[in-house]
Amino acid sequence: RKEKKKMVFVSKVQTAPYEG
């Protein structure tokens, strides 16, 4: 499911936000 992927992405960003 795409929702699951989005959750992982959000979790990764929260752990270590990437610089744009």
* Mean pLDDT of all residues in 1-20: 68
Q: What is residue 17's predicted lDDT score, i.e. its pLDDT?
A: 65
Mean pLDDT confidence for 5-9: 72
Q: What is the number of residues in the chain?
A: 20
3-state secondary structure of 19: coil
- Where helices occur in the chain by DSSP H, the ranges are 2-15
Region 3-18: what's the mean pLDDT?
Answer: 69
The reported pTM is 0.17
- Residue 20 — pLDDT band, cuts 50, 70, 90? low
